[in-house]
Amino acid sequence: MALKDRRLAEVVVGVGRDAGRLETARALGAVDVYETDPAPGLKGADLVVLATPIGRILEDLRTLAPFLSPEALVTDVGSTKGEIARAGAGAVGPRFVGGHPLAGSERSGVEAASAELFIEAVWAVTPTPGTDPEALARVRALAQGVGARVLTLDPDAHDRAVAVTSHLPHVLAYALSAQAATAAADDPHLYDLAAGSFASATRVAASPPDLWRDVALTNRQALADALRAYRAELDTMLAALDAADSERLFDRFQAGNDAKRRSGT
């Protein structure tokens, strides 16, 4: 939608498994035409964007390469980049450029799409040493063309950062939502007493679990490290509670408060 709205693409071809959903995408203006067979769908494409759960991206990189023209660029919008960058380099070669637009919400499906989605969003691009500089420049131009701010990063450095800022919050939201459901089984008023803080903390638990399972597994080491660090912070707060240590508890709350104010997020 963003490409079409800004006249950055002559024809957008949607390729997927479900003709009904693809027809909805065409009716909403997200694609011009569609195919359920990748061979005709990719024929003559200048740029291929893989926008599926990460497990599927990794699979498609292995199977779609034979259908690509020699000049075609390939990028993706997956939330982890290390495994994808390595798979793309192996399957597509220098013409693959990993990407991660930090935009969107917990909503899924083409019905949630917006041509304004990427305006002022950060779009990380993650080249490898073997990436073609021209391919990188074109993918950067694509991101900038739809309004995003481009950040170029090493794929593994990207994954370490988003493990803390994106993947950990999703794990925490799923865990808190599941914990609340368990507590609600014995307390019929629990959700009546859930206000804005609970809604904010669990909003992304509405995200598709299969998508985030793939994210977690393809960034498992960095995410596990982030979870261990978070658990250590929780243990510090728990010890302060058990000891009724108001000074220590205030110290940790103040540290979080200060960090939030400094972050600008």
Q: Mark whether 127 and 44 lie in a shared domain.
A: yes
Opening angle at CA 249, ends 246 and 200, nearest 5: 130
Q: How far apart are CA 176 and CA 147, in angstroms?
A: 34
Instruction: Return the structure tokens found at 147.
Output: 């309004």
Q: Is residue 73 within 8 Å of 47, Cβ to Cβ?
A: yes
Q: What is the CATH classification number for the domain harbouring 248? A: 1.10.3660.10
* Burial (CB count within 10 angstroms: exposed 0-12, middle 13-18, buried 19+), residue 134: exposed
Mean pLDDT along residues 117-123: 96
Q: Mark whether 22 and 126 lie in a shared domain.
A: yes
Q: Mark whether 57 and 137 lie in a shared domain.
A: yes
Domain boundary among 153, 188, 222: 153
Mean pLDDT along residues 234-243: 98
* DSSP reduced 3-state for 97: strand
Q: Mark whether 90 and 16 lie in a shared domain.
A: yes
pLDDT over threshold 90, residue 265: no
Domain boundary among 107, 131, 153: 153
Domain boundary among 122, 153, 184: 153
Q: Mark whether 116 and 28 lie in a shared domain.
A: yes
What is the model's pLDDT at position 55? 93
Instruction: Return the structure tokens found at 253.
Output: 């709350």
pLDDT one-digit tens code per residue, 12-50 = 999 999 999 999 999 999 999 999 999 999 999 999 999
What is the model's pLDDT at position 81? 97
* DSSP reduced 3-state for 7: coil
Opening angle at CA 88, ends 86 and 91, nearest 5: 110
Number of structural domains in the chain: 2
pLDDT one-digit tens code per residue, 71-106 = 999 999 999 999 999 999 999 999 999 999 999 777
What is the model's pLDDT at position 112? 86
Rg (CA), the chain: 21
With bands split at pLDDT 50, 70 and 90, how would you rate the model's confidence at 107? Answer: confident
With bands split at pLDDT 50, 70 and 90, how would you rate the model's confidence at 109? Answer: confident
pLDDT one-digit tens code per residue, 139-188 = 999 999 999 999 999 999 999 999 999 999 999 999 999 999 999 999 99
- Mean pLDDT for the chain overall: 95
Q: Is residue 20 within 8 Å of 36, Cβ to Cβ?
A: no
Q: Mark whether 85 and 119 lie in a shared domain.
A: yes
What is the model's pLDDT at position 126? 98
Q: Mark whether 141 and 166 lie in a shared domain.
A: no
Q: What is the CATH classification number for the domain harbouring 138? A: 3.40.50.720
* DSSP reduced 3-state for 73: strand
pLDDT over threshold 90, residue 132: yes
Q: Mark whether 135 and 22 lie in a shared domain.
A: yes
Instruction: Return the structure tokens found at 150.
Output: 């481009």
Q: Mark whether 201 and 142 lie in a shared domain.
A: no
Helix (H) / strand (E) containing 54: helix 54-64
Q: Mark whether 59 and 135 lie in a shared domain.
A: yes
Residue 232: C-alpha distances to residues 160, 183, 219, 226, 228 (Å): 18, 24, 20, 10, 6
Q: How far apart are CA 203 and CA 71, in angstroms?
A: 41
pLDDT over threshold 90, residue 61: yes
Residue-range definition of the domain harbouring residue 102? 2-153
Q: Mark whether 126 and 104 lie in a shared domain.
A: yes
With bands split at pLDDT 50, 70 and 90, how would you rate the model's confidence at 116? Answer: very high
pLDDT over threshold 90, residue 264: no
Instruction: Return the structure tokens found at 189.
Output: 């008023």
Encode 170-239 in three state secondary structure.
HHHHHHHHHHHHHHHCCCCCCHHHCCHHHHHHHHHHHCCHHHHHHHHHHCHHHHHHHHHHHHHHHHHHHH
* Length in residues, the chain: 265
Q: Mark whether 22 and 59 lie in a shared domain.
A: yes
With bands split at pLDDT 50, 70 and 90, how would you rate the model's confidence at 219? Answer: very high
